[in-house]
Amino acid sequence: MYNFLTKNGQLFAFLLGAISTLIVVGSILGSANKTMLDSPEAAKMAPEIANTGILNTGMNITVLLVVLALGATIIFGLLNLVTNFKSSLKFIIGFGVLIVAFFVLKSTSDHESVGKIVETMQEFDIDEGLSKSISAAIKGTIGMAVVAVGSMILFEVYNLFK
């Protein structure tokens, strides 16, 4: 199966995207009120156009394809992890380091208690635990971005002298 998807996966993805696009465009053209779409004030009529249900098919297909892609990614990732455990140790160790770093950042994060951000937190009902998790995720993302940019620069310099 892996060799088949490696050989033909891009073709299947392209065909699936093309068929989905044709279904969405066909749905829009089939159910659209031509005078509504062609009028010079179509932008002002956007809520009326959306209420006709024209966009529902496109959204449903998009959600279906995203769920399908996520499911395939998880299934094939776990399958590869189980069948090639020895070669997956780097991934497992890296994922473990990320989890430990997240919890370290979460435990060291402060709960915001002053300023405009407190009003926003109250508006969206964000408690102290979620606030710390959000801070840890933002700090972790910034840290990983710095490491990624730094490693790109270092490896380019290394390749320059190689």
pLDDT tens profile 27-59: 767 765 655 666 666 667 667 666 766 677 778
pLDDT tens profile 121-135: 888 888 888 888 988
pLDDT at 84: 86
Query: DSSP secondary structure string, the chain?
Result: -HHHHHHHHHHHHHHHHHHHHHHHHHHHHHHS-HHHHHSTTTTTTHHHHHHTTTTHHHHHHHHHHHHHHHHHHHHHHHHHHHHTTGGGHHHHHHHHHHHHHHHHHHHHPPPP-SSHHHHHHHHTT--HHHHHHHHHHHHHHHHHHHHHHHHHHHHHHHHHH-
